Structure 1
Amino acid sequence: MDLVEKSLEVIINNQSKSGAFIASPSFDTYAFSWLRDGSFIANSLDQYKKYDEAEKFYRWVNDVINRYSDKVNVIEDKISRGERISRKDYLNARFTLEGFEEKKEGWGNFQLDGYGTWLWAVSEHIKLTGKTELIDEFHNSINAALKYIKLLAFYPNYDIWEENYDKIHTSTLACLYGGVKAINDYLKKDEVTKLANQIKTYILTNCVEDEHFVKFIGTKEIDSSLLWLAIPFNVVDVSDDIFKNTVKKIEDDLFVDNGMHRYKKDTYYGGGEWILLSAWMGLYYKKVNETEKAEAVEKWIEKCATEEGYLPEQVCLHPNDETYYPKWVDMWGEIASPLLWSHAMYLILKSK
């Protein structure tokens, strides 16, 4: 089975008419479209010149942001008056496939990462297609996203795993910097340059402990998503000493037999190895010309595919705590498979 072709098929077949990508078609909890996941999924299609399908997603997000952009003005007004911002004021991290807020109680919807990731993905799409007219077409949504980021970039919010709502997360800040910096290649606005510089300075000043980047401010722990600082968001270069120290810790603490854990204390489905994060390690190895290691990661991912050619969210070959696996199965069912983000990151890895 050609897993590249199968991955493209899985993604395209699970794009709704609206343009949204369902996170996983077989996992009820993931029957929504996340801005973050979807932006990486659309970017994977861009790598294979599936530009129309990718752009459908970018346009879907444009419509979603425009639909709810009044919230950004409410937040701005509340901040100026020193009033408390409530949960209902924030823009959501995930939406129904039709582009509306979902109202499930208890879900960590205040996540900023998706708005930065969308700005970055749109910028990459323009770079590949030359469609600079999208900057004008998306004028309102781009400005709303930038204002939202400017207002809340340094507020505690849920991380990329929908956890730790009371922390400020390094990988979230990386998403914001990457998006702001990338879109300003086309906007060329001084105030946007200033915002990008503020975020980068904040990361370098506050998100380093013991000569390595940390999962969130106030800890010395790491997270494999710290790879995003260099790939793809370019906060630092892969040659940066602090980043190299971080990669070494990730390799030592989280990377086992070519499979990548999220973080040491992860117990979601036992805390197994995530396909998409393993692909990120492969991208790093390709970037630093460690070809054999990158190839080993590719082969490991391919071995994780099911008989149908589906890539799951994670596999539990070396779980952090296997006693948690049946607890999650009882609560939500078996691990999500296929996960479109897993397929997307495999495609991106193979394209480089």
Structure 2
Amino acid sequence: MSSLNLGAIGNCSFGALIDQDARIVWCCLPRFDGDPVFHSLLGGPKDAPEGGMFDIELVDQRAWSQSYDQNTAILRTRLESPTGAIEIVDFAPRFETRGRLFRPNMLVRRVVPVSGSPRIRVCLRPRFNYGAIAPDITFGSNHIRYVGPDFTLRLTTDAPVDYVRDETTFIIEETLNFMLGPDETLEGGIGSTAREFEERTAQYWRGWVRTLGIPYEWQDAVIRAAITLKLCTYEPTGAIIAAMTTSIPESPHSGRNWDYRFCWLRDAFFVVRALNTLSAMNTLEDYFRWLQNVVSTTNSNHLQPVFGVGLESKLSERIVDTLPGYRDMPPVRVGNQAYEHFQYDVYGNVVLGASQAFLDARLYRQAGIEDFHRLEHAGEQAFRLYNEPDAGMWELRSRARVHTSSSLMCWAACDRLGKIARALGEGERGRYWEERATIIKNAILENAWNEERGAFVESFGGRDLDASVLLMGEVGFIDPRDPRFISTVEQLENVLGDGPHMRRYEAPDDFGRPETAFNICAFWRLDALARIGRTEQAREIFETLLASRNHLGLLSEDVDPQTGELWGNFPQTYSMVGIINGATRLSRSWESVL
């Protein structure tokens, strides 16, 4: 049965997910939102229910263990049987060569015999067009080609090609290498090239981690979260995906199955900000370049909340009937209707995502006055729309309201534009945006506070509670010691809290009441608790949330508060952001322990 006890590998061009038995169960090519050539996470088509995966099977396997090589994105799985053990090393090459980054669409698998006389069977079964098309197969002395309608995969290996092609069981006596990628001839020797790629990829990741400014406590959790966020960036354009998967349901049989392989401006802002706190500046620079292209394409008009990683604006949603879905829980969706939504918090997310680029002297290219004027278009839209109904940050499909979280982010857009203007010496523009921020702030304080509930609520004039109002403290809208904010935190805990976990909102949505807790909301909660002085409680919650991660330190979007099982798309960048933010907020300082 499929689960989210998965590891993620990648190289900032594409990614793959690997289960505890070292099966590659998900991998889209040639990029994150491409065709899932390995898709057994969502099941197989009727004519090939075991298709869509890459398995190196140890005969009579009895035990497994799995871990990342320290401070890398290289995954190591040990499988044991009564006759012997093997170790499988999985990674996607990423390192500098000839003055540029080498990050091909290639998976490298190295199988090392550890003890005894282990017998393995290699099952390489890619499919195309969401499982609908089986490849045509050709082969040579050291390669097998899997020919699809749009592209061809080539496996280059020093294992016996006949055994791989026919899925024959055989004894492994020496390290075998499997390099799956574009239909190109490998220039060097197979074993030496795979070994070199592993060494240089490890060196790259360890060098990158070494540049991070991490908190004293929870270092391993923060480093794994940072690497995972980095893996979810699409470096060619600077886009950042929300997750690597599509259609993992938010709860069993809920129908809340969405495609998250795109760049939400909201999610991407939080990723950039989290990595900024760790001094991972390249992501900010790449994403600022992406944002400038996004803003330029809108022509000062409506800004949609989500784009394809190649800046595609149309992400038409459809249901794929060739795959049965995660644990036979359809539908499997491709594309996301959210690109058609009006979600006005997006204007604040754009400005917030770009703000540091104007102020940080470490950047190779610091943003300037022309960039500021381009961002002002987003600010004008924010001011025009802050009190207009929208779908909100939870992307409700059948209900529009003046959502407090959207108005809050419209305020943040105007507030930060005022600060940027002051930093650029543009005093008049600074006053202009400060005045608009004040107007929005007063409207929120007047219309979003519900005296009966003793809390800021999810919409102007409404009464329902929503965890997103916790962002008031995080973006600096209100003093956390304000009695209204403290009361809001307490009411949200009472109504939406479930132990250390927290649900998004109390009102039913298009699919009824949410059944699982939303991981990022729990991290917002502990941030708010720390801000109002309940630090020890926040630390206890944080420790419990860390225990909710899978065995490799990764989180999905949702968790079942009763069973602890992970649900929703995976790995979810929003959730991994929460780990970094929580550790940064709660850790003791280096000075206090040195």
TM-score, length basis structure 2: 0.51
Distance in 1 of aligned mates of 2:282 and 2:513: 36
Q: For the structure 1 residues 176 and 258, does the alpha-carbon distance in structure 2 shift closer, same or farther, using more than 3 Å as the test?
A: same
Matched pairs, number: 321
Which among 264, 289, 295 is matched to residue 65 of structure 1? Answer: 295
Q: 1:271: Cα distance to partner?
A: 2.8
Q: 1:64: Cα distance to partner?
A: 0.9
User: What do residues 3-52 of structure 1 show as CA deviations (whole Å, max 9, x unaligned)?
Assistant: 21111111111100211111110225111100111001000010000011
Distance in 2 of aligned mates of 1:288 and 1:36: 25
Q: SS in structure 2 opposite 1:98?
A: coil
Aligned residue number for residue 549 of structure 2:
305
Q: 1:249: Cα distance to partner?
A: 0.5
Aligned residue number for residue 226 of structure 2:
8
| Paired residue type of 2:239 | A
| Paired residue type of 2:500 | N
Aligned residue number for residue 182 of structure 1:
416
Distance in 2 of aligned mates of 1:173 and 1:102: 26
* Residues 557, 568 of structure 2: 8 Å contact kept: yes
Matches within 5 A, 1:117-128: 117-127=349-359
| 2:421 corresponds to 1:203 | no
Distance in 2 of aligned mates of 1:289 and 1:125: 31
Which among 153, 158, 171 is matched to residue 386 of structure 2? Answer: 153
Larger radius of gyration: 2
| Paired residue type of 2:449 | V
Aligned residue number for residue 169 of structure 1:
403
Q: 1:134: Cα distance to partner?
A: 0.9
Gaps of 5+ in 2: 1-66, 68-219, 248-258, 318-336, 423-428, 586-594
User: What do residues 73-131 of structure 1 show as CA deviations (whole Å, max 9, x unaligned)?
Assistant: xxxxxxxxxxxxxxxxx321000001121242643521111220221232245445566
* Residues 506, 513 of structure 2: 8 Å contact kept: no
- Bigger RCO of structures 1 and 2 (CA < 8 A, at least 6 apart): 1
| 2:584 corresponds to 1:351 | yes
User: What do residues 122-165 of structure 1 show as CA deviations (whole Å, max 9, x unaligned)?
Assistant: 22454455669414252343021112112222211111100164
Matches within 5 A, 1:31-180: 31-70=261-300, 72=301, 90-104=302-316, 106-107=337-338, 109-127=341-359, 129=361, 133-163=366-396, 165-180=399-414
Aligned residue number for residue 477 of structure 2:
235
Aligned-CA RMSD value: 2.4
Larger relative helix fraction:
1
Which among 287, 290, 303 is matched to residue 534 of structure 2? Answer: 290
Task: State the identity %.
Answer: 21
Q: SS in structure 2 opposite 1:134?
A: coil
| Paired residue type of 1:300 | T
Which among 4, 19, 25 is matched to residue 238 of structure 2? Answer: 19
| Paired residue type of 1:92 | Q
Q: For the structure 1 residues 128 and 300, does the alpha-carbon distance in structure 2 shift closer, same or farther, using more than 3 Å as the test?
A: farther
* Residues 518, 558 of structure 2: 8 Å contact kept: yes
Q: SS in structure 1 opposite 2:233?
A: coil
| Paired residue type of 1:146 | G
Q: 1:167: Cα distance to partner?
A: 0.4
* Residues 214, 223 of structure 1: 8 Å contact kept: yes
Q: For the structure 1 residues 125 and 275, does the alpha-carbon distance in structure 2 shift closer, same or farther, using more than 3 Å as the test?
A: farther
Distance in 2 of aligned mates of 1:104 and 1:172: 24
Aligned residue number for residue 194 of structure 1:
435
* Residues 382, 413 of structure 2: 8 Å contact kept: no
